């Protein structure tokens, strides 16, 4: 499946520290492959402790400079300019993202535009935000003062990397912090564009720093650096556990959006055609490499056979092919290592459930959209995150059984409920163990709402004011309007023995 090479690829990928592109201190690099061909197309600088030290020092100096002290309106103008610059090159961003990740071009373009919207949202929010004020009439006024925390360490994943980087960069910068970004080693290409965008927008040197490399080296050094007070991480749950442990001695602020095995629950009274559209898109879009994918579809038994048959037909008709072709709906998985993991789960599934679509081998990093039916809740393909174009469909007979199945995994990121019974919808939403719930809706997120999971799916929330809370310290200031009436210790005329 040939893919045209984007124009203007860089000769190599470097770090960006204190306003300059630089190689690693030790000169080491690593290979970056094109997922469609499995061929190495570029070398990226491989960061280690020394590179992180330089980046953090630059960010610390910049934090002590004008950026953290700018009025919100001034930072807002910069963020709006960043959004303008992203929108002005959204097609090129999409081409590079598709080349580097294997995402279908139409979906990559949507992610580039969402990145611009993330910056616009926080540019507006920091100007419009208000903080709490409390009055005790005639006696006291209390108000909250926000301060940026310092150097934010941002560790981002390889699925939709540019958009997910914007998700962290925008609020971190909007609130006056400086940053060190460590992008995923599989997909460093689009991250290298941030330097030029920020420079053109007028972001001072050192406010944004980028160190490429592996989690075990660059990521670990960033997490353990004593001058980085907060870490925002998106990735798998096991890595999140390591970060939690390594950050604990420093008492760092942590926000971690981790894995998911989200249920999509379809009741018999739902609009089945809409539910079919949403549940097919929800697991096969972005090549199935999405944390909020509804990868467990739970269907009420009275409509189960009809729904499974329709689902299998739709999955079999999905266009798999060249990610740069606008007609492609599922492209190449990001890396041969990841493809091997997904294919292992497909083989496991063949022994655990009924295969009704896909499952056949494909060349390269391509995996056909695969549907398993009659999946038991004890099955590995029901319990474990696959992170690919593979879905498990399971029947249920009652609301109570549906809830038990939905909650019967270690994850709790998202849930999708399809029913026209309003009472049932809200009752189910209240009881399902998920950080986010969509009722009769696909994953359409309002940026003002909290994003995050429960159980093994995360720690903390970002989005809207939750991001402002994470990236700032909240200081309570108390002003007395009258005599404080403090008890007068030490005024006794008789010394105590």
Active site (catalytic) residues: 257
Query: Which SS3 state, helix, strand or coil, does residue 113 take?
Result: helix
Q: Which residues contact 361 (CB under 8 A, 6 or more apart)?
A: 343
Q: E-assigned strands of 362-443?
A: 370-373, 390-396, 411-412, 414-418, 436-439
Nearest in space to 83 (alpha carbons), one of 27, 124, 22, 142? 124
First-to-last CA distance in the chain? 92
CA angle 29/187/465 to nearest 5° reads 120
Residues 390, 345: contact at Cβ < 8 Å? Answer: yes
CA angle 418/419/425 to nearest 5° reads 95
Q: Which residues contact 251 (CB under 8 A, 6 or more apart)?
A: none
Block residue for tokens 């090159």: 89
CA 96/CA 165 separation, integer angstroms = 15
CA 262/CA 148 separation, integer angstroms = 34
Scanning 36-139, the segments in alpha helix (DSSP H) are 49-63, 72-88, 90-101, 105-128
**Angle between the N-to-C axes of helices 301-316 and 272-284, in degrees from 0 to 180, rounded to the nearest 10:** 50
Block residue for tokens 């009439």: 137
Phi, psi of 30 (to 5 degrees): -140, 160
CA 154/CA 368 separation, integer angstroms = 33
Maximum separation of any 2 CA atoms in the chain, in Å: 95
CA 322/CA 309 separation, integer angstroms = 27
20-22 and 230-234: which strand pairing? unpaired
CA 271/CA 165 separation, integer angstroms = 36
């Amino acid at each position: 499946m040939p893919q045209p090479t984007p124009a203007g690829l860089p000769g190599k990928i470097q770090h960006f520290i204190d306003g300059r592109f630089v190689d690693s201190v030790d000169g080491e690099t690593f290979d970056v492959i094109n997922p469609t061909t499995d061929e190495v197309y570029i070398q990226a600088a491989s960061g280690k402790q020394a590179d992180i030290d330089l980046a953090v020092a630059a960010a610390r100096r910049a934090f002590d400079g004008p950026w953290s002290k700018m009025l919100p309106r001034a930072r807002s103008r910069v963020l709006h300019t960043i959004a303008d610059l992203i929108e002005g090159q959204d097609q090129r961003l999409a081409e590079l993202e598709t080349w580097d990740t294997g995402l279908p071009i139409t979906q990559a373009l949507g992610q580039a535009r969402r990145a611009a919207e993330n910056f616009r949202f926080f540019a507006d929010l920091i100007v419009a935000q208000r903080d709490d004020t409390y009055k005790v009439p005639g006696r006291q006024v209390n108000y909250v003062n926000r301060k940026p925390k310092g150097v934010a360490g941002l560790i981002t994943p390889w699925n939709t990397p540019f958009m997910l980087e914007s998700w962290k960069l925008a609020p971190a910068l909007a609130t006056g912090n400086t940053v060190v970004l460590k992008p995923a080693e599989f997909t460093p290409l689009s991250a290298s564009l941030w330097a030029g965008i920020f420079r053109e927008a007028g972001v001072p040197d050192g406010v944004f720093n980028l160190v490429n490399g592996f989690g075990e080296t660059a990521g670990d050094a960033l997490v353990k650096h004593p001058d980085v007070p907060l870490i925002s991480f998106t990735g798998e749950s096991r890595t999140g556990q390591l970060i939690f442990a390594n950050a604990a001695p420093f008492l760092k602020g942590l926000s971690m959006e981790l894995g998911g095995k989200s249920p999509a629950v379809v009741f018999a009274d739902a609009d089945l055609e809409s539910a079919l559209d949403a549940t097919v898109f929800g697991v096969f879009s972005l090549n199935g490499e999405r944390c909020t994918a509804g990868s467990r579809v739970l269907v009420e038994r009275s409509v189960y056979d009809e729904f499974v048959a329709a689902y299998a037909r739709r999955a079999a008709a999905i266009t798999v092919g060249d990610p740069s072709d606008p007609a492609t709906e599922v492209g190449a998985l990001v890396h041969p290592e990841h493809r091997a993991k997904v294919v292992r789960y497909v083989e496991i599934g063949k022994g655990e459930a009924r295969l009704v679509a896909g499952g056949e081998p494909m060349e390269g990093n391509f995996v056909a959209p695969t549907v398993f039916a009659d999946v038991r809740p004890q099955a590995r393909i029901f319990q474990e995150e696959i992170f690919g174009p593979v879905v498990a469909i399971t029947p249920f007979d009652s609301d109570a059984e549906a809830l038990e199945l939905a909650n019967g995994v270690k994850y709790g990121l998202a849930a999708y409920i399809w029913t026209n019974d309003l009472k049932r919808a809200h009752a189910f939403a209240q009881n399902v163990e998920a950080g986010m719930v969509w009722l009769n809706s696909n994953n359409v997120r309002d940026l003002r709402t909290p994003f995050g999971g429960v159980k093994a799916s995360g720690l903390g929330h970002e989005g809207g004011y939750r991001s402002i809370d994470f990236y700032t310290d909240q200081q309570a200031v108390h002003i007395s309007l009258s005599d404080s009436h403090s008890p007068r210790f030490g005024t006794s005329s008789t010394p105590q023995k």
